[in-house]
């Protein structure tokens, strides 16, 4: 039967064949690609607030028609944004940390005043304040009257490393100092935080480990394209062939970052061996895990992993993940944990890649799906005049306290698939 169909197809004029391919592509796009995002969140006031105040959640996500494959979204999003989004004019502040290290805080305050709410943004693995995805979020926030401060990790953003220590996904001590510093400047209940990729891991671990401090200083938080389970994430990025190419690019960026840090040249760090790393896991095994006192790289990854810590978070947290993220398989997204938690909601799109989420025929504008969701959430959480969100936050915390003092009943959870 298949042979008969194939023969009929090969006898068609070439333009007919092209037409059939186009029709099939369009049908596939409308049926398998364009979907409304899933919101994994416990039933209650937080979920109702999100649906009532964030219009993007009610709409289907329309990935760029010619670029919806996960790796294509990941790569082209970076290229297109870097070409079309101008550099941001920041006001730089150098913050000296308690151990003598330095981080750069880049403030974007145009069209804002001293009473404007503020969002601390944490870039990804080797990202800094002019990274294309950071600029996308900065402009999205600024367009709605929100201040932004980008937290550049040690040794990044053009800074010289002052102490023989970089950063890692599991350590949130530097972020803790940054949050306390910024909260002295920003009006109470008007400070939010957002982390992208590895920045999301750092922020998530901060929310889970320093929950009381986080609740005292942050009104709301958001993470984007976070590798929920670091073990599965590193395994996914090492899969051949395209995923592995992305992983090699990031590993090379890590090696370059370390090679620029002259302070390690007189230490026991084997720079020559590290420069030969081809994967992120190799780099973490030789450098990151050792620098932060882990016996094995798997111990570091277990400590950095976030998917099993959602129950400890007591700041309203909205997350954005794509089901096809090459850095994180769908089965690693903690849907059930989000449904059981009091403060966490995860938006899951069928497509989007890793920090991609391109949309439109030619996604050249500053506003994209990722930035629009970001602005809608923080506008309603930080700029509200009715204090609805503050009331919901109080109710959520009451539920959190009750949950952690009384036995909670198990509940059947819903399985999702794309």
Give the active site residue among 183, 225, 325, 343: 325
Give the active site residue among 170, 197, 225, 236: 197
- Measured CA to CA, the distance from residue 374 to residue 248 in angstroms comes to 29
Distances (CA, A) of 359 to 61, 87, 160, 196, 364: 8, 22, 38, 19, 9
- Measured CA to CA, the distance from residue 274 to residue 123 in angstroms comes to 23
Phi, psi of 400 (to 5 degrees): -60, -50
DSSP 60-81: -B-B-TT--SHHHHHHHHHHHH
Give the active site residue among 217, 307, 343, 354: 354
Any catalytic annotation for residue 354?
A: yes
- Measured CA to CA, the distance from residue 199 to residue 205 in angstroms comes to 10
* DSSP β-bridge partners for residue 29: none
Environment class of residue 181 by beta-carbon count within 10 Å: exposed (0-12), middle (13-18) or buried (19+)?
Answer: middle
What do you get for the CA distance between the two ends of the chain, in Å?
A: 30
* DSSP β-bridge partners for residue 120: 149, 193
Phi, psi of 275 (to 5 degrees): -60, -20
SS percent in the chain: helix, strand, coil, step 5: 45, 15, 40
Return the structure tokens found at 239.
């899969």
In this structure, are residues 194 and 121 in contact, taking their beta carbons and an 8 Å threshold? yes
Q: How far is CA 189 from the centre of its chain?
A: 23
Any catalytic annotation for residue 408?
A: no
DSSP 358-418: -BSSS--SS--HHHHHHHHHHHHHHS-SS-HHHHHHHHHHHHHHHHTTSPPPP--------
- Measured CA to CA, the distance from residue 55 to residue 33 in angstroms comes to 20
Phi, psi of 349 (to 5 degrees): -95, 150
Residues forming the active site? 197, 325, 354
């Amino acid at each position: 039967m298949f042979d008969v169909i194939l023969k009929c197809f090969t006898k068609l004029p070439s333009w007919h064949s092209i037409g059939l391919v186009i029709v099939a592509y369009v049908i596939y796009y409308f049926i398998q690609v364009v979907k409304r995002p899933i919101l994994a969140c416990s039933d209650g006031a937080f979920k109702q607030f999100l649906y009532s105040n964030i219009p993007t959640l009610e709409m289907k996500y329309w990935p760029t028609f010619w670029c919806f494959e996960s790796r294509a979204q990941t790569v082209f999003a970076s290229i297109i944004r870097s070409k079309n989004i101008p550099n941001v004019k920041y006001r730089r502040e150098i913050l000296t940390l308690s151990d003598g290290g330095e981080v750069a805080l880049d403030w974007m305050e145009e069209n804002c005043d001293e009473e404007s709410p503020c969002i601390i943004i944490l870039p990804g693995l080797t990202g800094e304040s002019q990274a294309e995805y950071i600029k996308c979020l900065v402009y999205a926030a600024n367009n709605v009257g929100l201040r932004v401060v980008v937290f550049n990790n040690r040794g990044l953003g053009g800074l010289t490393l002052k102490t023989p220590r970089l950063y890692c996904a599991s350590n949130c001590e530097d972020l803790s100092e940054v949050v306390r510093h910024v909260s002295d400047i920003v009006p109470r209940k008007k400070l939010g935080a957002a982390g992208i990729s590895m920045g999301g891991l750092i922020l998530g671990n901060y929310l889970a480990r320093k929950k009381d401090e986080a609740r005292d200083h942050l009104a709301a938080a958001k993470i984007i394209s976070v590798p929920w389970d670091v073990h599965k994430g590193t395994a996914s990025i090492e899969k051949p062939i395209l995923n592995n190419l992305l992983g090699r690019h990031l590993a090379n960026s890590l090696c370059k970052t370390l090679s620029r840090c002259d302070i390690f040249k007189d230490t026991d760090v084997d720079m020559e061996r590290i420069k030969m790393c081809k994967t992120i896991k190799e780099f973490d095994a030789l450098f990151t895990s050792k620098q932060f006192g882990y016996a094995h790289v798997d111990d570091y990854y277990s400590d950095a992993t976030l998917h099993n810590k959602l129950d400890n978070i007591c700041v309203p947290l909205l997350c954005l993940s794509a089901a096809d993220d090459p850095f994180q398989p769908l089965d690693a997204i903690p849907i059930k944990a989000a449904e059981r938690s009091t403060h966490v909601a995860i938006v899951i799109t069928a497509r989007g890649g890793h920090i991609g989420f391109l949309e439109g025929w030619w996604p050249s504008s500053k506003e994209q799906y990722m930035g629009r969701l970001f602005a809608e959430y923080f506008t309603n959480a930080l700029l509200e005049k009715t204090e609805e969100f503050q009331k919901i936050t109080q109710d959520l915390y009451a539920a959190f306290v009750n949950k952690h003092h009384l036995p909670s009943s198990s509940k059947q959870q819903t399985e999702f698939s794309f």
